[in-house]
Every structure is written in structure tokens, then in C-alpha cells.
Copies of this chain bind each other. A is one copy, B any other.
Amino acid sequence: MPRLQWSIEQYAEGIRAGDRVALGRAITLVESARPDHQALAQQLLEQLTDAAGENTLRLAITGSPGVGKSSFIEALGMCALGQGRRVAVLAIDPSSAVSGGSILGDKTRMERLSASEAVFIRPSPAGTSLGGVARKTRETIRLVEAAGYDLVLVETVGVGQSEIAARHITDIFLLLLLPGAGDELQGIKRGIVEMADLLVVNKADGERLQLARQAQGYYLNAVRLLPPHPSGWTPRVLTCSSTEGLGITEVWAAVQECAHQFQRSGYLAQQRQQQTLYWLRESIEEGLRQAFYRHPEVQALLPALEAAVLAGRLSPFAAAEQVLRAYEANRRKA
């Protein structure tokens, strides 16, 4: 492979010029666990802050397996593309590290979209922890935005934790649903519906049209029960058929309306600042936890304390104090 030793400047220049090879390699640096790669990635990200995502939109798209996320992303992406947006598709899928099969691994499911020059698709990074995957995706968003992609779609698997991570790296949260009422929520964890800014009942075509309307009614009721959103936005419930191309223009219009409302109210900028501070705190606390739980003294002590706590012989607060004291004393010695 030529040009293995690119400089930070070469990466930055390539990315700003929209060079897909430079972008792909930069993302690989971000995703790498190697400390030298990580150091390079951080330097690169600092170089690119002048090209920060002021006019970009980050949209999380989630839903249970089988809801048709790939074809929906293809349809919505094509629609945005037709209106001049440059589209990046990323994913948060912590299971990809285990199963090897990422939700975005199969690009053939987004055939038309992946053929376009104005589209960049990247499967979920493998990661040992969800926090790790989300962190890498967040940094990748900054890279694709620096490369001129102004609509970033972040696909997640719809089983809970990934959605919460996605909520902390995107501007708008879109939940895909199946036609039908009540039961179809089985695959969606508690709290996910309440996070959604847009709810879209997919597969609203043919014989399923009636069921889709029914689902729409149910979710309209559910959404009406939610407390008001700080931005003044009221969650919208729409129907569409990705495969038939029905209702997609309306979904894209609703996405844009939501984005405008978030911008007008100042909520978009405010939320991005809060997200930045969230990741600072999260990273600090993750670092503190790792140093603690990996410490030999803690690993020697904690199992017995946990057993005593579960048996009711020791209060969890007293146990915590014991192990914290031992940790502190041992570190001072080291």
C-alpha cells in the first residue's frame, strides 16, 4: 500500500478536499486501538475544528430488527441527496464486535445510495464496549462533516443502550415502527419512544396500510401524553413505505421542520454543547472506573465484599467505603 506514512496535514488536506481514501483512512485511525494511531487521530481532529459542523444535521435512525432500517435509510438518503445534501451513513452496533456482522456491513442493502459520489457509508466500528463504539462514531461524525457531508445518518439496532448512546451524538432521533398496534412495541425497550422526535411507521403499503394507520393512531396518543419538549417541538408521527417510495418526501420534510425548530429555539446548539460536556464527563468517569476496577487490590477484595453485601452481612455503603479505602491506600504506596 503506497503512502502509508501520511502526515496530519496530508490527512487534513485530503479530507477537506473530499478525498474518500483520506477520509476512510482517517476513520481507521480513529477506530484503531493503537496508542500511536489514537494520538494521530486526536491531532487530526484538532486540525479540523475550523471545519466544524455548523450547517450539518445528525439524525439517529433506530427501530427493532425487521422494521426495514436499511431500505428506509436508502429511501430517505436518496430523497435528501436529490435536494442537494451530501449524506454520510454511520452505525452504532456494539454487537458487531461479537457477531462479526454489523448492521451496515452489507452495503448491497443500500445499493442506489452506495453508488452515489455524494454518499459515504461506513459500517459500525468494532469495539469492546458500547462507550468505545459511541466515542469512535462521534469522532467519525466530525471527520465526515469536515469532508463536507452535511447530513449524517446514524443507524442503531434498537435494543436500548445503543439508542441512548446515539441520543448523545445526534441532533434528532427518528424511531421506525412496524404497522399494527401495541404488540409491535415488544422489541423496543422502555424509554425509547420518549426519546423520539419523529416516529415513522414503515411498511405502510398494500394490505398493511390499515394496520399502519392504526399504529399511527396509537403512537399519536402515546406522544400526546409526553411532557413538552424544551425546544417547543411536538413529536410527529408519520407513515411511509420505503420500498414503494410512499411518504418519504413527507418524512424528509418533517426532519427538516424539526431541524429548523431546533435551530430557531437555540436547542440544537445548546444540545450539542451539552453533548460535548457529557462526553467529557463520561470519558473522565469511564477512566476513573477502569483504573479502579482493573486495580489488583480491588480485584482481590471486591468479590468477597459483593458476596457479603448480597448475603446481607454488610451494607453496600460500608462495602464501598472499605474497597475505596483499600484502593486509595494501595495507590499511595505504588
Q: Which of A46, A221, A225, A289 has the most CB of B within 10 A?
A: A225
Q: Is A233 among interface residues, defined by CB-CB distance under 8 A? A: no
Q: Residue of B at shortest CB range from A328?
A: B291
Contacts of A224 in B (CB 8 A): 182
Q: How far is the CB of A327 from chain B (nearest CB, A)?
A: 9
Q: Which residues of A272-297 are within 8 A (CB) of B?
A: 273, 276-277, 279-280, 283-285, 287-289, 291-292
The reply to whether A46 and B277 contact each other, CB–CB distance below 8 Å, is no
Chain A, residues 186-226, CB within 8 Å of chain B (1/0): the string is: 11111101100000000000000000000000110110111
The reply to whether B283 and A316 contact each other, CB–CB distance below 8 Å, is yes
The reply to whether B315 and A284 contact each other, CB–CB distance below 8 Å, is no
Q: Residue of B at shortest CB range from A317?
A: B283
Residue among B135, B142, B285 making CB contact with A285, cutoff 8 Å: B285
Q: Which of A49, A316, A324 has the most CB of B within 10 A?
A: A316
The reply to whether A52 and B222 contact each other, CB–CB distance below 8 Å, is no
Q: Is A42 among interface residues, defined by CB-CB distance under 8 A? A: yes
The reply to whether B45 and A315 contact each other, CB–CB distance below 8 Å, is yes
The reply to whether A321 and B287 contact each other, CB–CB distance below 8 Å, is yes
Q: Is A139 among interface residues, defined by CB-CB distance under 8 A? A: yes
The reply to whether B228 and A316 contact each other, CB–CB distance below 8 Å, is no
The reply to whether A313 and B185 contact each other, CB–CB distance below 8 Å, is no
The stretch among A75-83, A91-99, A236-244, A304-312 that forms the contact with chain B is A304-312
A324, B277: Cα distance in complex, Å: 15
Residue among B228, B287, B313, B320 making CB contact with A287, cutoff 8 Å: B320
Contacts of A3 in B (CB 8 A): none
With known contacts A49-B312, A277-B306, A289-B288, A320–B283 Cβ distance under 8 A? yes
The reply to whether B312 and A189 contact each other, CB–CB distance below 8 Å, is no
Q: Is A331 among interface residues, defined by CB-CB distance under 8 A? A: yes
Q: Residue of B at shortest CB range from A320?
A: B283
Contacts of A287 in B (CB 8 A): 320-321, 324
With known contacts A185-B227, A227-B190, A283–B46 Cβ distance under 8 A? no
Q: How far is the CB of A302 from chain B (nearest CB, A)?
A: 9
Q: Is A319 among interface residues, defined by CB-CB distance under 8 A? A: yes
9 closest residue pairs by CB, A with B: A283-B320, A280-B316, A279-B316, A287-B324, A288-B288, A49-B312, A190-B194, A42-B318, A284-B320
A contacts, CB < 8 Å to B = 42, 45-46, 49, 52, 135, 139, 142, 182, 185-191, 193-194, 218-219, 221-222, 224-228, 273, 276-277, 279-280, 283-285, 287-289, 291-292, 305-306, 309-310, 312-321, 323-324, 328, 331-332, 334
Could you write out 5 A-B pairs with CB less than 8 Å apart?
A: A194-B194, A218-B221, A222-B222, A222-B225, A287-B324
